[in-house]
Chains A and B, each alone.
Chain A
Amino acid sequence: MMTAYERVQTARQKGRPTAMYYIEHIFTGFLEMHGDRRFADDHAIVAGIALLNGLPVTVIGIEKGVLTEEKISRNFGSAHPEGYRKALRLMKQAEKFHRPVVCLIDTSGAFCGIGAEERGQGLAIAENLMTMMGLKVPIISILIGEGGSGGALALGVADRVWMLENAVYSVISPEGAASIVWKDAAKAAEASTALKMTAEDLLGFGMTERVFSEENGNFETVCSTLHNALAQEFSELLALSPKELTEQRYNRFRRIGGDEQ
């Protein structure tokens, strides 16, 4: 049994497949669409239209990059407001054309920097949360690696939230939590356990519906399982009326942390 911190390290491991790998292996005919039509094209987010068993879907992924140069151009998967706005634009477009949306989440967090603040990082995330809550087409979000706080949630307000077995999802990085709570970033391992951020933890909290095996690192098999699962789940979600869909999505999040005395 892996510890929480081992999972964190696995989720961040060099060589672990990133969003583009899943896009190429799950879908066909992916056409990438660029830009937020407001400011720029954020390479930390890849988005476009693809086919899932012949069904057009909008796919949005946070991409960390593979080789060093690419990682730098993708800002190591930490998106700026324009990245979230590109995602939002394509989600609204998906709604217009009745296409389901798949989000692939893998980020240490939304970028924290001067430009990000100047262009409204908080607003960009808030707008995504609100819009996704009311989006009239099905959304499935899959955590494939790191789920870093608000920057992950900005693509995570979905009808189904799935996680790979070594994916993690947390309100703050374990290093961040350790340095704030214990003034000692070296206590990251302890913090990983305390934060209850593994797929298993989240399954127990009802914050994820399904956890997928990583098949001992055979990610082609993982992709084929995800392909079938997505096709199956969308066929069920597409049968719901927009009202039923958004009602269920609201209630999915509404019940979290609502049992106080």
Chain B
Amino acid sequence: MRLISKEMFKKPNNRLEGELEPSKHVHAAVQESVAYTCPECKTALEKETLPELDYMCPRCGALFIMAARERLEWLVDEGTFHELDAALEPLDRLQFPEYAAKLKKAQRDSGEPEGVLTGTATIDGEPCALFIMNSTFIMGSMGAVVGEKITRLFEYATANGLSVIGYTVSGGARIQEGMFSLMQMAKTSGAVLRHGEAGLFYGVVLTHPTTGGVVASFAMEGDVILAEPKALIGFAGPRVIEQTMRQKLPEGFQRAEFLLDKGFIDRIVPRKDQKRELAQLLAMHRRDSTR
């Protein structure tokens, strides 16, 4: 075994200096046909093969954006999902200019009434309460319904002794809901706290991008915090920081790998391993296995 290698004299892998590759995350345009073109390397794929490819380009490794319901179907055991609060509709409490039209458009484009799906399901046979945020609904921003549904889910899980698994994706607050949006951070944090006080497990998977008020609340409150490779995760968006600091941000800044290095997340888990790892974590925190 060679104790001294060339590697040791290389410059340390300082991620602030931009050694990470640029993000492979891409916004998949809504494509109507049966074909799907990788937005990054332009490889032609068949849409129906995407779930078995774990929504990852087999050629270049790009991770495709998954709508919440796509992720749900990909993640949970078939036929086990029971949705909660499916009918909750957003309100335009502030009568914010153009918000009503924006909501209608988001509902039409996403086919969902709001930006998060909640319910119960099993993952590889392990039961849990589950929330999956939806980037296709006003960038997964946290309106009152998002906060309310997540709060209700944690309360349901607490009452029924269930672990919670959450997938986050969020551009931050829902500006058009003003303080009603901000207060969801406190509300959800209270529900997470109570769930934890009942001795129950909460595992969260941060996906690209998870920012703003969601990072400053339930995204960072998991007992175990996982992230997808190269996901952008941060309190302030990179553009805001660039403006504040008046300097260009180094590449790799605020990516999952950077957070792992800084000690803020537990593991980075590729999509192909997520189902297995989540099921394993759920099994390890099953009530009958721990007491």
Contact = CB atoms under 8 A, between A and B. Distances in A.
A42 to B, nearest CB: 15
Interface stretch (B20-28, B40-48, B76-84, B217-225): B217-225
Contacts of B194: 250
B175 A116 contact: no
13 contacts: A110-B216, A111-B244, A114-B16, A122-B216, A126-B185, A126-B189, A154-B216, A157-B189, A170-B179, A171-B182, A257-B93, A258-B148, A260-B148
B189 A171 contact: no
Nearest to A129: B189
A3 B217 CA distance: 32
A113 B244 CA distance: 7
A134 B97 CA distance: 37
The secondary structure that dominates the B interface is helix
A126 B183 contact: no
A261 interface: yes
> Interface residue tally of chain A, by bracket?
35 or more
Contacts of A201: 179
Given A117-B253, A133-B186, A261-B89, A169 B179 contact: yes
Interface residues of B, number: 60
B173 interface: yes
Interface in B157-203: 173, 175-187, 189-194, 197
Nearest to B94: A196
Interface string A137-176: 0000000000001100110110000000000011110000
B254 interface: yes
Nearest to B189: A129
B186 A157 contact: yes
A253 B187 contact: yes
A65 to B, nearest CB: 18
Nearest to A207: B179
A47 interface: no
B124 to A, nearest CB: 29
A202 B93 CA distance: 12
Interface in B222-267: 233-236, 240-241, 244-245, 249, 253-254, 262, 264
A118 interface: yes
B144 to A, nearest CB: 3
